[in-house]
Amino acid sequence: MNIEFRNVSFAYSKKKRSLPVLDSVTFEVEAATRAAIVGKSGSGKSTVLDLISGVLLPQAGQVVVGGTDLALLTQPERAQFRREHVGYVFQDFRLFEHLPALDNVSIAAQIAGVGQKVATAKARNLLERVGLGRRMEHLPSELSGGEKQRVSIARALINEPVLILADEPTGALDAEVRDDILNLLAQVSAESTLVVVTHDPYVAEHLSARIIRCVDGTVLA
């Protein structure tokens, strides 16, 4: 799924003040490729990811994903777009603390309309694939940081997305686990478009990703 930013601008409002984040940003990511959005904290990296997913809409310009201008969709249509096409890997995992790993993964498929039996079978297969076959019944509090991130990746993949978005997926991990997670992301994104937000140039290098730099509200692609 290809991504196009066409003269995109975005600003947050805070206490009646406008805080510009992106200013006339233009770039393109081709389908079935890897891209890493790098830059310092506050440079607009995560905002770019939220615009790609349709969580945010540009205040000027266009964000076109898979040929669709996301601003032309209603909010329910954008939610459906995310369910059907996007897998999101969060830096802070965002797992349900009261659910075991298996249910944390299967629930994403059930929300998308998949029956419980099929969703559970798919979740089991994915957890095996990410190396957590023996940890399926463990709660998040019983998992390490690397294991939680693997659950998050499995959850992101369960609806077979053509677009995978990962926000600082290795930010809380040590070097050895970081490399394991990056290898896993490279493996599972072989046929999808992968966009990773990171402040660490090593991540982009390890993934052999195209680098898109966010600097003071502009993008150097």
What band does 43 get if pLDDT is binned at 50, 70 and 90?
A: confident
Domains held by the chain: number: 1
pLDDT of 159 higher than 80:
yes
Can you give the CATH number for the domain in which 211 is found?
Answer: 3.40.50.300
pLDDT tens per residue, range 44-61: 888 999 999 999 999 999
Band (91; pLDDT cuts 50, 70, 90): confident
> What share of the chain in percent tops pLDDT 90?
67
Q: Which residue has the higher pLDDT, 63 or 43?
A: 63
* Cβ-based neighbours of 37, under 8 Å, separated by 6 or more: 45, 48, 49, 195, 196, 197, 198, 212, 213, 214
Average pLDDT over residues 159-180: 89
Mean pLDDT for the stretch of residues 121-136 = 94
Which pLDDT does position 221 carry in this prediction? 65
Task: Report the phi/psi class of residue 184: left, alpha or beta, with left for phi > 0 and alpha for psi in -120 to 50.
Answer: alpha
Model pLDDT, residue 184: 86
Residue of 112, 104, 124, 106 lying closest to 86 (CA atoms): 112
Give percent of the chain with pLDDT exceeding 70. Answer: 100
pLDDT score of 181: 87
pLDDT at site 140: 97
Summary mean pLDDT of the chain: 92
Please spell the DSSP secondary structure of the chain, one letter per residue. Answer: --EEEEEEEEEEEETTEEEEEEEEEEEEE-TT-EEEEE--TTSSHHHHHHHHHTSS--SEEEEEETTEEGGGS-HHHHHHHHHHHEEEE-TT----TTS-HHHHHHHHHHHTT--HHHHHHHHHHHHHHTT-TT-TT--GGGS-HHHHHHHHHHHHHTT--SEEEEESTTTTS-HHHHHHHHHHHHHHTTTSEEEEEES-HHHHHHTTPEEEEEETTEEE-
User: What residue numbers bound the domain in which 113 lies?
Assistant: 3-220
Q: What was the pLDDT predicted at 27?
A: 94
Residue 176 pLDDT exceeds 90: no
